[in-house]
Structure 1
Amino acid sequence: MLKDFDINDIQDLHEARDWIVKLLNIIETLNHENLELKTQLQQVRDENNRLKGEQPKPKIKPNKENSNHSSEKERNSPKEREKSSKKDRIKFHDTEVCRVDTKLLPEDAKFKGHERVIVQNIKFEAHNILFLKEKYYSPSQNKTYR
């Protein structure tokens, strides 16, 4: 195909374009053949490794590209949540008044109310259950049923 090609014979632009198209076609054909040969070579290597008792080359899948869907922005954007105070919903089991020793205070100190301090503890208690399962005995079959 390239035996009759001589670069000095090209006289005009049209003839140069024709040769460029031919060369690009040859490159494409050779590239396709090269890929096929690489695939065949890898198959032969895998078969050779299999016959030796080794593992073939693993088939690694390519990474998937992130597709930008219209919902992608909505999914990735963090939604602002309004935090509400849990103190309003807490049930109190006990209330203790912590008194201040007034002897330690100056004489002009006046009582202005209470300051609320909430302490949450976890109380673990044992909760044992006794199950009374009925049990029957059949003398004729010499068997117990539960």
Structure 2
Amino acid sequence: MTQKQSSEKLVETLVQTINPKEIAEESLRQTVEILLNLIEQLHTEVKELREENQRLRDENNRLKGEQGQPDIKAKKPRGFSNNHSSEEERKTLKNHSKGSKNAHLKIDREEILEYPLE
């Protein structure tokens, strides 16, 4: 999926960097403009079809009793800033150490076991 996204971004940046006004020949300039418009239309159509295809897959999976693709929303900042007085206190690291359990063990009996040598 990331390769598709990176190739889509590459195509978008490439299309945006092409300036047909820099082309001297009029017929070639018009051809490039037509092709760029066609690329943009096809790109948006492919994006819409992919979204529709995913919706249909999710619906098909839901009807089969499976779960669809999860709806994960981006984090949005709240209406207020996160600048609270306790913000610095939460950011400071506290030293946590795990104590030894052997110090709390109480030995109440000792047993000597013999292992046969064969």
TM-score (norm 2): 0.42
The answer to which structure, 1 or 2, has the higher relative contact order (CA under 8 A, 6+ apart) is: 2
Structure with the bigger percentage of strand: 1
Structure with the bigger percentage of helix: 2
TM-score (norm 1): 0.35
> Which has more radius of gyration?
1
